[in-house]
Amino acid sequence: MLTVNNIEVIYDDVILVLKGLSLHVPKGQIVAVLGSNGAGKTTTLKAISGLLKTEEGEVTDGTIVFDGERIDRLPPEEVVRRGVFQVMEGRRVFEDLTVEENIVMGGYSRRDRAGLRRDFALCFDYFPRLKERRRKLAGYLSGGEQQMLAISRALMARPKMMMLDEPSLGLAPLLVKEIFRIVKRINQEEKTTLLLVEQNANLALSIADYGYIMENGRVVLDGEPDKLRANEDVKEFYLGGGAGEKKSYRNLKFYKRRKRWLS
């Protein structure tokens, strides 16, 4: 469904962030992109959704093809109309609107009223807690409830592919597990393709069909979840179970990490 082919992204005409990144997202699957802060994960999503221009960023090389059509030169609203919806890091709900109004806003580009009514009810089926708070202002919701609301708003767009940016950020462990369980249900029941950017490698790999690990703007390792879990470097740096003395990822020099990934 999605092919990102050797793209480069530059901010402010001088800062090279993505350095020949390639990845593939098959239809109907969940693909996880893992990596530490600054690896370029969020920039990858913004390159796909067309949001780079809002931050003086640009895809300067390579192509992004979705459903057989090149989208890297399209504005964000056109990318949404073609079926790609990004759930931003930090939820980004409309705080002064009610839960119900936020959900309705997700379907602004649709004209099928029967489908909109069906999907509106579906949001409350997946997230009963939101139904209880449907008249409440979104700004007064908890962080977990706002994440549920952001996903519901995305569902209302009836996307072919939903991109989730750090859905576990700042949430209690029990809420994170609940949200990931529902994300898996959405993939299975609605046949929605998912591209998941996440730092919680254990949870991401537990629901993903395939995974990529990014470092310094490049993919350094990819494979099925079982393969990634079995990799000693992944265990050490992301899963907390490496052999020998436990090391701090941030204290290692980049060239040493790069040498290990490529060995």
How far apart CA 262 and CA 147 sit, in angstroms, is 36
Amino acid in position 152: S
| Maximum alpha-carbon separation in the chain | 59
Whole-number pLDDT of residue 238: 81
Whole-number pLDDT of residue 168: 87
Q: Which two three-digit tokens encode residue 149?
A: 């609301």
Whole-number pLDDT of residue 260: 53
Report CA 175 to chain centroid distance, whole Å. 17
Pairing assessment for the beta strands 15-25 and 2-11 based on DSSP bridges: antiparallel
Handedness of CA 176, 181, 187, 189 (dihedral sign): negative
Which DSSP string do the residues of 209-242 spell out, in sequence order? SEEEEEETTEEEEEE-HHHHHH-HHHIIIIIS--
Q: Which residue has the tokens 């490496």?
A: 242
Q: Which residues of the chain have pLDDT under 50?
A: 244-256, 259, 263
Pairing assessment for the beta strands 30-34 and 210-215 based on DSSP bridges: parallel
The model's pTM: 0.87
Q: Which of 172, 231, 189 is nearest to 34 (CA)?
A: 231
Enumerate the domain spans of the chain: 2-83+159-262
pLDDT in tens, 58-102: 999 999 999 999 999 999 999 999 999 999 987 789 999 999 999
**98 near 135, Cβ under 8 Å?**
yes
Q: What is the CATH number of domain 2-83+159-262?
A: 3.40.50.300
Which DSSP string do the residues of 109-149 spell out, in sequence order? T---HHHHHHHHHHHHHH-HHHHHTTTSBGGGS-HHHHHHH
Whole-number pLDDT of residue 253: 46
Name the DSSP letter for residue 1.
-
Whole-number pLDDT of residue 37: 85
Whole-number pLDDT of residue 242: 55
Whole-number pLDDT of residue 262: 53
Q: CB burial class (10 A; 0-12, 13-18, 19+) of residue 96?
A: exposed
Helix (H) or strand (E) holding 108, with range, is none
Whole-number pLDDT of residue 255: 39
Dihedral of the CA atoms 261, 224, 167, 69 (nearest 10)? 100
